[in-house]
Amino acid sequence: MKKECPNYQKNLARCNCTYEPCSRKGYCCECIEYHLSHGELPACYFNEEEERTYNRSISFFASRRR
């Protein structure tokens, strides 16, 4: 069972992740930990077009900001 997050509803409302089976939606600490452990960034670092690619790599993020 997940620990309660005092910001869960606020986080969920602004979460732009479109990966529906994600169990970390609204739990930003878990989301960031998960993605960083895979060399990635969470969806909230990407704009709508970039997020839909599901490419969460740090290199993709950097390449789009040059």
Q: Is position 38 within any domain? A: yes
pLDDT score recorded for residue 2: 63
Residue type, position 41, single letter: L
- The answer as to whether 39 is a domain residue is yes
Asked if residue 16 belongs to a domain, the reply is no
Q: Is residue 46 part of a domain?
A: yes
pLDDT for res 21: 92
Whole-structure pTM value: 0.85
Is-contact 51 18, C-beta < 8 A? yes
Q: What is the pLDDT of residue 4?
A: 87
Domain residues for the domain of 33 are 23-66
pLDDT along the chain (66 residues), means of 10: 84 96 95 97 97 97 93
